[in-house]
Structure 1
Amino acid sequence: MRSLMRKPRPARGYHSVAAPRPPQAGGGASDAAPTHRDPAPSRLAYKAHRLWLTPTFRALLRVGLPVGLVLLAVGLYFANPDNRTHLVDTYTQIQRSVQERPEFMVKLMAVEGATPVVADAVRDLLPIDFPISSFDLDLEAMRLELTKLDVVEKAALRVRPGGVLEVAITERQPVIIWRHDGILDLLDRSGHRVASLITRNGRSDLPLIAGAGANQAVDEALALIETARPLGPSLRGLVRVGERRWDVVLATKQRILLPEHDSVAALEQVIALDQAQEVMARDLTVVDMRNPLRPTLRLGEPAVEELRRIRTLEFGADDQ
């Protein structure tokens, strides 16, 4: 009987599962059925995870955030005026201590390629208080200031070893004298003013030109003067007429009127005629070559009177 009343054993390999207990009325939370955790992340955690996987956001946190903190700290430091003043003073002291080292100091100035008068003018134009740091010299501004002198064609400045400021000057070479408005100016080949003259005898070795606009045609004037060399000392100079053509003035008060174009060829024609027939040795006042195809000679007053007398005699002989 006792064996018949034993409970049956579960089959081997199987576990018995207790039957769920029915909920009891009036039971507490401890008696409720257990809840399982949802493995899916929350929406906020999902968005944060996706944001962290973004390369831009990761770079911003790794680089941008430290840089921003540093800039914030620097900004807060410089917001104080005392800090700014202290930093500027420190930088200025360091800068001056480097610039005023002996190897950077300029002690004197040497002017080369200039006459004594021009050299004195250069020193007066550049009043430098030596010794001075080479960092305080604006060489380009000084060069431009020197080129304002009429006599200076080119200027070059450099600091040589040993603390010497070298100023190399190239002076303009006067080739002609220009008389205008009662003033005598020396001009170079380009027509640029070099200096002024008090008297013509100051540079008697240079030819003379006159008239408005003569300085704009110096090359043509020099070519005419070279062509008129056979005239010798009788050549007095050239006069610009109407700012478009030249008159050759001789010491005998004779004039050769040249055309606006091909003036050198017209003067060569007059020189050839003079060498063949000594035209300029006669009593002429003007040789008009403004039209090279029809040269015109203007006689002097004595020659005109003599011509009238000869014609009167010829007409009187015809009447007889």
Structure 2
Amino acid sequence: MSGTRIKRAKAPPRRPARAPKKRKTVKTSRVNALLNALPVSPATLQRAANWTIGLSLAALVAVGAHATGVTAKINEEWAQAVGRAGFQVRKVEVVGADRIDRLKVYDIALAQKDRSMAAVDLEGVRDDLMHYGWIKDARVSRRLPDTLVVDIVERQPAAIWQHGGKLSLIDKTGIVLEPVTVATMPDLPLLIGPNANQRAQDLDRLLASASSLRELLAGATWVGNRRWDLRFRSGETLSLPEGEMPAKEALAKFAHMDGANRLLGRGILRFDMRDPSRFVLRLPHEGQVAPAQLEDARAAADAVAAGTASEG
């Protein structure tokens, strides 16, 4: 037994040790490259980011405060504190008012529920004033410690509108300024008929084509919502055709004929130019006017007839 040799198993061959993996170099990201390319320092960028975050948070807080009514409560307390300090509306100064009722302006300006100078809604006061016909424009400002200054631009009256048995003063655009009575009517043209006030600018353009007749006009009636009848101070009525251009041409022609033959003031009752091919005159009947006036009216009609024949 002692001579027996024991064979030992051969050890498995050793595997060669793997070489350690090389760590890949971390490349600079595109964002870092872009930031590095900016002409500002990283510290400045960090401050900007901090401000942006801070402002965003402040905005969120403000929105939340407004939604929950906290902002309104703070503003109310601030306004009350200002009022208790003596800054309350006690006076209203009106500038530029001539025809307008100043008491009406005072009532509108002092209608604010809160008289604290900090709580007065200047734009709201202006909006209320702009509903008053006389006011074309208005500016409202504070003058500390206790005065509201109301600077007004008034509309200018241009005519009187008669409709539905009522008389109203209007400006050149047809805005109603205030009611008037026969006793208080100013010496202005009288516009008669539904929507006649809305046609005031049309009438003004019409009269521009015959300026010599403007001062002789007593009033005008908007007939059937389509044409004008003009009434002169001397008592005659001129019926014009429909349409802006036909009416202008007819009125210019009438002004020329009046300049040549003196038609107005001679007793003729009506001139009818609704038909462009005809010029119709309505004379008074015998006994309706004095004989001399009737004769003068007939002479005027003859002169017109002769002038029309010569033109033909």
Asked if these proteins are the same fold (TM beyond 0.5), I'd say yes
Aligned to 1:173: 156
The Cα shift of 1:200 comes to 5.7
Matches within 5 A, 1:156-195: 156-195=139-178
- Per residue, is there more helix in 1 or in 2? 1
Amino acid across the alignment from 1:143: R
Q: Secondary structure of the equivalent of 1:300?
A: coil
Distance in structure 1 (CA, Å) of the matches to 2:163 and 2:192: 6
Is residue 152 of structure 2 the alignment partner of residue 154 of structure 1? Answer: no
Pairing 1:145–2:128 present: yes
Aligned CA distance change for structure 1 residues 161 and 124 (closer, same or farther; 3 Å): closer
Q: Does 1:277 align with 2:278?
A: no
Map 1:61-210 onto structure 2 (within 5 A): 95=78, 98-100=81-83, 102=85, 105-115=88-98, 118-127=101-110, 132-199=115-182, 202-204=185-187, 206-210=188-192
Match of 1:24 in 2: none
**Separation in 2 of the partners of 1:232 and 1:191?**
18
The aligned residue for residue 287 of structure 1 is 271
Contact residue 107 and residue 130 of structure 1 kept, 8 A: no
Pairs within 5 Å for 1:12-91: none
- 1:274-307 Cα offsets, whole Å, 9 max, x none, are 2212344555332221122332233333379x9x
TM-score when normalising by structure 1: 0.57
Structure 1 residue 247: Cα displacement: 0.7
What is the distance in 2 between the residues matched to 1:181 and 1:248? 20
Deviation at 1:242, TM superposition (A): 0.6
Q: Which has the larger radius of gyration?
A: 1
Counterpart position of 1:4:
none
Q: Which amino acid aligns with 1:300?
A: P
Question: Which runs of 5 or more residues in structure 1 are unaligned?
Answer: 1-86, 307-320
**Shift of residue 229, structure 1, vs aligned partner:** 5.6
Q: Is the 8 A contact 2:108 2:125 kept in 1?
A: no
Q: SS state of the match for residue 194, structure 2?
A: coil
CA RMSD of aligned residues (A): 3.6
In structure 2, the CA distance between the partners of 1:201 and 1:230, relative to structure 1 (3 Å rule), is farther
Tell me how many residue pairs correspond in the alignment. Answer: 218
Deviations 1:125-153 (A, max 9, x none): 33358993223212222211112211112
- Cα distance in 2 for partners of 1:126, 1:133 equals 13
Tell whether 2:283 aligns with 1:299.
yes
Work out whether residues 217 and 231 of structure 2, in 8 Å CA contact, stay in contact via their aligned partners in 1: yes
Q: Provide the rounded CA distance (Å) in 2 between the counterparts of 1:145 and 1:91.
A: 27
- Normalising by structure 2, we get a TM-score of 0.59
The C-alpha deviation readout for 1:86-133, integer Å capped at 9, x for no partner, is x99x96896467534748544422111113752211112333589932
The share of aligned pairs that are identical, in percent, is 30
Supply the distance in 2 between the matched residues of 1:156 and 1:300 (Cα, whole angstroms).
56
